Structure 1
Amino acid sequence: MADLFDGISDWLLEQALQTSDLRGVICELGQRLIDGGVPVNRINIGRSVLHPVFGLMNLRWEAESNQAIVEEIPRSEIDWDGLVGQPFFELTRGAEDRIVADLRDPEQVARYALFGELAARGMTGYVAFGRVFGRRTTFLERFAEDFRGASVSFTTKRFSGFTEADHEGLERLMTPLCLCLPVATEHFLSDELMQAYPGRITGGQVLTGQSARGDGQVIDCALLYSDMRDSVGLSQRMEAPDYLATLNAYYDCTAQAVLDHGGEVLKFIGDGILAIFPIEDGKRPARNMCTAALSAARDGFVRAETANAARREAGAPLFAFGTALHLGQVIYGNVGTAKRLDFTATGSAVNLVSRCEALTRTLNVPLIATADFAALIDEPGRDLGRHDVRGLDAPAALVSYPL
């Protein structure tokens, strides 16, 4: 067996250097073990992650399907009480280095709820190993223990379970396997973090190296600009955590509606958002993008009505906002100083749509669109006439749409 595990170890080290496809690596690992006489039926890898939304990642491979499924678990959905005392928790915080169980033994099966589930599926042997690595995490403040690592478990249905030689050989795979984990998960996290913070378009540019000062592009798009009403007043009347929660509730309605309709949020601007629906010949026609932007705007108001109904029942302050739509070009690029850069959106179209949104207050309509935008919408809008817009040489023709 020494030759088998030495060969697999060398192969894992090569994979750590060559690929970020952890699914493929684990599928191949399972098959190599089976072919080498170690009949694993299940491999499970779990690790804590540093991410604003996700707290844990889990990958599970099953021999029957020879497929590996990756699950990213949001922090809000983690059953912390159920996690405590489970093998994953004990291993990733370093309390245990190895957990072994004969799943044919009722006393050992009773040790963890997981063992009962595995035994019920016909598993006979279980072995898991943990490694603590990476930077210290602080999002698990309820636990005094450090929690920054990964656990890998192997399960078999072989009648006699795993042998001690199997245990020792599988443990020797931990170091090269854990070298694969950061490569794969950091690749995933970098992509997820880029989408969570700068956004899909900007994140893609950063990850492909288009992040130098002065890098940019001109984007033909439908624009959506939304701004929360009385934000200053709310910030003065509310405690900071409550005000931030209100902002997030507003963004859950407006920004999430944009994302759900295929748009891109370019900027959270204080208490407002600037979003675009990029136009691309043959793939994202201008008429379709304008229709999507209008649908997203309306959806935002529908979601806000539902959110405010819940806030009213809870006695929380309600929020309101206006939204403007336009069709034009956005200059989107990386600007700043040599040591502090940011992606920003600018251009006459951005100025126009933001200033049109301000007119939703004076015209007492929640949703405004420019004539350029309305020209590509099949549904006729209500003519609001022409209005002076600061910075524009001529008055802008505006329309409104019912919610």
Structure 2
Amino acid sequence: MDLAPRLNLMNWLVGQGLTGLPENDLIRGFCERCRTAGLDVSRASVFIDTLHPIFEGRGFRWNDTQTNESDMFEYRSTSEGEAAQNWRRSIFYYMLESGVGELEVDFADRASLDFSLIDELAANGHRHLVAFVHRFGEAGTLGQMDSVYSYWVTRRPGGFGELGLSALRDLVPLLGLAIKSGAQVEIARTLGRVYLGRDASEQVLRGRISRGVTERIAAVLWFSDLRGSTAISESITPGEIIPFLNDYAQASIDAIHDAGGDVLKLIGDGVLAMFSGDDMSGARRAALQAEHQFRKNLITLNARRAKERLPITSAYLGLHVGEVYYGNIGSEDRLDFTVVGPAVNEVSRIASMCRSIDRDLLASAEFRSGLDATGRRYLVSTGRYALRGIGRAQDLYTLDPDIASSEPVTGSYERYLEN
């Protein structure tokens, strides 16, 4: 590749990196432009570690022919099992262990090599590979994200040649910088979703980070906690407590998210969430959908834990509706994006009443009254109660017991939730 097209491609990489072109489009555009400029890339793969509760990193592929491979992939931990074995056979593991940042492989000499993928690449007509590991400095490292890894393959009989290798040495670091920039944006989004919740994260990333900036909204509020969690925690080993809490948090959070709700806070074994929108009747029904799925999740979870001889439990849940302040609350250097207001205190107290009157679910009169006539029929009164710290007594409701005991009523209720 001559100097002029090389400079043009550098400028393109900088521009697309600044505009935030998705990484798979970036790789594809880069490879296609390389080929147009005379650099015969036939396959490329670029990957980078990340900060994510499930995945260790993300990678991107490009091929000069149609394949069944996806152009983007995510990978889990490479520290154990088959993934660890594959990683130790990779060219990048060898490079890290050897302390080299660039390595060429002529497939004609592959018999002496034990790298994964080499035989497969050669069988598909590729002739020559060059791999790069571009390391970050200490200030540029985030967790395990300390390098960009890439390999480049050609079908050209003579390989990339010195001119092609020179072009890749100039261009791949710029590509790596653009990939790293995209990865950092994705990390920010991931950390926001994981630690703030989905909607709160979007609010913060759109710039709503000023202290005291809140909005007053109407919301359906959910507060759940586990039945007998203190006694269970005292009866198991310290190493079992976190898996226990994680299992049951997953059951509730999955149900809330599937129904369109937002989890605002995890408080020990408690979950505070909300359902909001212009259609508050729909938000109420979404909360009931989440509650119904939550109970199903608990049945599946408890069956699995019982089989593993682990302690099982169920959950108490309170549902309420009210106006809350939603936004940034805290000090100048430690803010929380959450909801506050009397309704938040009330939903917590409603959930606490479940223990006293032995009900898994209690909903306020405000919650029930906003449902349509069909929905109101599925909630039956449990009486009127004074809630601790709340100035007025509340009428509380629970699901009609026939929903659990009668198949026709169960089917009718599930059809109502689906509509």
Q: Aligned pair 1:117/2:111, yes or no?
A: no
Distance of aligned partners of 1:139 and 1:188 in 2 relative to their CA distance in 1, 3 Å threshold:
closer
1:206-257 deviations in whole A, cap 9, x for unaligned?
2122111101122322221101122322332333321111111110111121
Paired with 1:16 and 1:26, the residues of 2 have a C-alpha distance of: 11
Q: What SS does structure 2 have at the residue aligned with 1:201?
A: helix
Per the TM alignment, residue 64 of structure 1 is displaced from its structure 2 partner at its CA by 3.6
Aligned with residue 368 of structure 2, among 371, 374, 399:
374
Residue 135 of structure 1 deviates from its aligned partner by 4.1
Displacement of 1:185: 0.6
Name the CA shift for 1:92/1:192 in 2 (closer, same or farther; >3 Å): farther
Deviations 1:156-190 (Å, cap 9, x if unpaired)? 23354432321222122122122212211101111
Match of 1:336 among 324, 330, 333: 330
**What is the deviation of 1:139?**
7.2
Q: In structure 2, do the counterparts of structure 1 residues 248 and 43 end up closer, same or farther at CA, with 3 Å as the change threshold?
A: same
Q: Give the 3 Å change call, closer, same or farther, for CA 220–134 of structure 1 in structure 2.
A: farther
Counting aligned pairs with the same residue, the percent is 29
Give the TM-score of the pair, scaled to structure 2. Answer: 0.85
Q: How does 1:139-288 map to 2 (within 5 A)?
A: 148-280=146-278, 285-288=279-282
Partner-residue secondary structure (3-state), 1:90: helix
Show CA shifts across 1:303-340 (max 9, x none).
12221222222222222210111222222221222232
Match of 1:97 among 97, 101, 113: 101
C-alpha change, 1:86 and 1:76, in structure 2 (3 Å) is: closer
Q: Deviations over 1:96-123 (max 9, x none)?
A: 3222223355526x53221122223332
**Aligned CA distance change for structure 1 residues 262 and 76 (closer, same or farther; 3 Å):** farther
Larger proportion of helix = 2
Matched, 1:350 2:348: no
Deviations 1:72-95 (A, max 9, x none): 334389812221130233346773
Distance in 2 (alpha carbons) for counterparts of 1:307 and 1:135: 42
Q: Which amino acid counterpart does residue 338 of structure 2 have in structure 1?
A: T
1:144 is aligned to none
Which amino acid in the other structure matches residue 318 of structure 1?
I
Give the alignment of 1:36-55 within 5 angstroms: 36-55=37-56
8 Å contact 1:59–1:70 — kept in the other structure? yes
Tell me the distance in 1 between the aligned counterparts of 2:110 and 2:330. 65
CA distance in 1, matches of 2:143, 2:84: 12
The corresponding residue for 1:143 is none
SS at match of 2:56: strand
Matches within 5 A, 1:64-83: 64=65, 69-75=71-77, 79-83=83-87
SS at match of 2:164: helix
Q: How far 1:53 sits from its partner (Å)?
A: 2.9
The 1-side partners of 2:214 and 2:24 are apart by: 35
Counterparts of 1:93 and 1:134, CA distance in 2: 18
Q: Distance in 2 between matches of 1:202 and 1:236?
A: 34
Task: Specify whether residues 231 and 298 from structure 1 end up closer, same or farther in structure 2 by C-alpha distance, changes over 3 A only.
Answer: same
1:333-371 per-position Cα deviation (integer Å, ceiling 9, x unaligned): 212222322223211221221111111111211112223
1:129 aligns with 2:129: no
**Runs of 4+, deviation exceeding 6 Å:** 136-140
Aligned length: 392
* 2:91–2:116 Cα contact (<8 Å) kept: no
Separation in structure 2 between the aligned mates of residue 23 and residue 247 of structure 1, nearest angstrom = 37
Question: CA deviation digits over 1:5-37, x for unaligned, max 9?
Answer: 333234323433443533332222111111111
Aligned-residue Cα RMSD (Å) equals: 2.7
How does 1:21-60 map onto structure 2 within 5 Å?
A: 21-60=22-61
TM-score by length of 1: 0.88
Secondary structure of the corresponding residue to residue 15 of structure 1: helix
SS at match of 2:221: strand
Indicate the larger mover: 177-186 or 339-348: 339-348
String of CA shifts for 1:135-164, please: whole Å, max 9, x gaps.
Answer: 497977xxxxxx821111112233544323
Partner of 2:412: none
Structure 2 unaligned residues grouped into runs of 5+: 405-419
